[in-house]
Amino acid sequence: MNFSEISGQEHIKGPLRRAVQEGRLAHAILLLGKSGQGLLPMALALAGYLLCENRSETDLCGKCNACRKTEKYIHPDLHFTFPVVKKEKQKDAPLSSDRMEEWRQALEEDPLMSYNDWLLRLDAANKQGNITARECREIVRKLGMKSFEAGSKVLLVWKAELLKKEGNRLLKIIEEPPEDTYIILMAEDESELLNTILSRTQVYRLHPLRDEDILQHLVRKEGMEESRARELAYLSDGDLARALKLAAESEGGMGDTFRQWMLMIARSDWAALLEWINEISTKGREWQKYFVRYGLHFFEESLKAGMSAGYTARILPGYEKLTVFLNEKMDLEAYESAVRLLEDLHYHIERNAYIKVQLLNASLRLGDVILKRKRIRAEALIR
Ligand SMILES: [Zn+2]
């Protein structure tokens, strides 16, 4: 993993590289961010950069002896600590090194993996992973040894939140690491960290990725069509892993399907609507949830565009007309009702409710909202 492979996060790449070049990188570093923002890749790139024998100003060389080993995660001076669970029939407390094979494979295949993804790989979805006291002792032992290749030693600690009381065993080594030793801790949730660790590390924070960074990644690395990539970027809240997950779960763009739905509702075209509901009900549940999330996003952006003239909605070209149309029909209150309806629909889909009934119900009630029909009808009945 090198810096150029990481999307966005320029605000910390630069300072990290400069600190390494000028020999003033803190010996204990904490990277804070979401896994989908590139937390592990950033730590891996930094470790590779520290170990590279021929780094440039911008990146590791990728060719030297050290790079060839870090690339495969087999460099003897690159150590990893990450949560593990006991293997079947294992008596001792588990160590990260028990799971190196799975770990290397995970880094290879999915460096944006979440903690949960990792537990699934360990076949431990229902268990809690742990960084054990034994592991902490092992860290102290490993870092106390001389480096194998006469250069720096680097330890990466993933999910540093899980260093509880045992984490205090590491304090001394974090405070005064052996010479030429770097400890790079990674965490997603700052509030779960031991204060003693927070106060002894230099903190670098990752940011949510910009739409443009996600778009570029999806187009260049995944070979996705630009319009689809843009739609996914809008829906993923700056989290690349989420964008990739959404991509895997959905086929094709959602814009046309959503526009079709809104127009059938606005025209009260019930025959077409029933046919459409039949079609949507055959799609998978993940697709349906994704569609509803798209609807929520669309309403939100449409409302913002309606409220402030200068706002550029994060909506694909070609769909602005639909926002204008909705804004003619809907006020703030109507949008609030529409959002609640879709949240309800999402809730029911998640719980495996009978999708046809739910879609019909949501369509009818959205019709009431968009066309303000309910009130008129009720009044007509009273008269
Ligand atoms: Zn190199």
Q: What percent of the chain has pLDDT over 90?
A: 60
Q: Give CATH 1.20.272 domain extents, the chain.
A: 250-382
pLDDT over 90 (residue 99)? yes
Question: How many angstroms separate the Cα of 354 from the Cα of each of 247, 292, 338?
Answer: 25, 15, 20
Cβ within 8 Å of residue 149, ≥6 positions away: 65, 66, 75, 76, 77
Distance 62 CA to ligand 1 centre (A): 5
Give me the residues near ligand 1 (ion), CB cutoff below 5 Å.
52, 54, 60-61, 64, 67
Distance 59 CA to ligand 1 centre (A): 9
pTM assigned to the model: 0.77
Distance of CA 352 to the CA centre of its chain: 25
Distance 70 CA to ligand 1 centre (A): 9
Distance 12 CA to ligand 1 centre (A): 21
Dihedral Cα 310, 313, 319, 325, nearest 10 deg: -60
pLDDT value at position 273? 94
Distance 248 CA to ligand 1 centre (A): 34
* CATH-assigned architecture of domain 250-382: Up-down Bundle (1.20)
Q: Give CATH 3.40.50.300 domain extents, the chain.
A: 3-207
What is the spatial distance between Cα 118 and Cα 304, in angstroms, rounded to a whole number? 38
Distance 183 CA to ligand 1 centre (A): 20
Cβ within 8 Å of residue 256, ≥6 positions away: none
Pick the CATH number of 3-207 from 3.40.30.110, 3.30.420.40, 3.50.50.60, 3.40.50.300: 3.40.50.300
pLDDT over 70 (residue 7)? yes
Distance 52 CA to ligand 1 centre (A): 4
What is the spatial distance between Cα 360 and Cα 362, in angstroms, rounded to a whole number? 5
Distance 25 CA to ligand 1 centre (A): 18
Q: Which of 121-130, 195-204, 239-248 has the highest mean pLDDT?
A: 195-204
CB-side neighbour CA atoms (13 Å) of 220:
10
Distance of CA 127 to the CA centre of its chain: 22
Distance 105 CA to ligand 1 centre (A): 22
Question: Mean pLDDT over residues 142-166, rounded?
Answer: 88
Distance of CA 282 to the CA centre of its chain: 28
pLDDT value at position 251? 63
* Helix, strand, coil percent values for the chain (each to nearest 5): 60, 5, 35
Distance 28 CA to ligand 1 centre (A): 22
What is the spatial distance between Cα 152 and Cα 143, in angstroms, rounded to a whole number? 11
Mean pLDDT score of the chain: 89
pLDDT over 50 (residue 383)? no
Q: Which of 234, 226, 228 is nearest to 250 (CA)?
A: 228
Distance 120 CA to ligand 1 centre (A): 33
Distance of CA 257 to the CA centre of its chain: 26
Distance 225 CA to ligand 1 centre (A): 34
Q: Which of 21, 1, 112 is nearest to 67 (CA)?
A: 1
Distance 104 CA to ligand 1 centre (A): 19
Query: Would you tell me how many other CB atoms lie within 10 Å of the CB of residue 67?
Result: 21
Cβ within 8 Å of residue 115, ≥6 positions away: 35, 83, 129, 159, 188
pLDDT-based confidence at 125, cuts 50/70/90? low
Give pLDDT tens digits for 159-178: 999 988 777 888 888 888 88
Distance 170 CA to ligand 1 centre (A): 29
SS (H, E, C) 121-186: HCCCCCCCCECCHHHHHHHHHHHHCCCCCCCCEEEEEECHHHCCHHHHHHHHHHHCCCCCEEEEEE
Name the residue with higher pLDDT: 88 or 340: 340
Distance 10 CA to ligand 1 centre (A): 21
Distance 244 CA to ligand 1 centre (A): 30
pLDDT over 90 (residue 310)? no
What is the spatial distance between Cα 303 and Cα 286, in angstroms, rounded to a whole number? 26
Distance 69 CA to ligand 1 centre (A): 9
Distance 133 CA to ligand 1 centre (A): 34
Instruction: Scan for tokens 């480096």, then name that residue.
Output: 147
Residue 258: both structure tokens together: 């959503």
Instruction: Scan for tokens 């689809």, then name that residue.
Output: 228
